[in-house]
Amino acid sequence: MTPLFLQFSQDLLVPIVAIIAVFGVGGFIVLKIIQLIRDAILSRRAPAQSDTVMRKLQEYEMRHEQLVKRVQNLETIIVDADLGSPGPGGKSGDEGDEGDRRLKNKLR
């Protein structure tokens, strides 16, 4: 015959496991319901977020256009400097140093 405390623990083992399983599954279901409610609330706020995204996109496009204009201006300055000074090095005596100074002033 088995001792009383072993028989007692074997009889309680199934209900204890069942209780733990029920609480586990119930907790999982409650967490999923809370997550669904949270997602529904966040989806209602989505139009405000899309306005922010559109504003940021417009700012990006404006910065991109400004950058393209700046690059074109720099290209124009460099081409004008190259066409204005003869020779492969772009310098002709003392005039080359002065032309380089003017170019540096334009680039600032």
Q: Residue 12 is part of which domain span?
A: 1-44
**Does residue 36 sit in the same domain as residue 69?**
no
The pLDDT of residue 11: 75
Half-sphere exposure in the Cβ direction for 103 (13 Å, CA): 20
pLDDT tens-digit readout, 61-81: 999 999 999 999 998 888 887
pLDDT < 70: residue spans in the chain: 1-8, 46-49, 85-108
**Does residue 38 sit in the same domain as residue 63?**
no
Global pTM reads: 0.38
**Does residue 3 sit in the same domain as residue 38?**
yes
The pLDDT of residue 93: 47
Q: What angle do CA 40, 44, 45 make, to 5 degrees?
A: 120
User: What DSSP character marks residue 87?
Assistant: S
From 71, 76, 80, select the one nearest 99 (Cα to Cα): 80
The pLDDT of residue 108: 58
Q: Residue 69: enclosing H or E segment and its boundaries? A: helix 46-84
**Does residue 31 sit in the same domain as residue 63?**
no
Work out how many domains the chain is built from and give that number: 2
**Does residue 27 sit in the same domain as residue 57?**
no
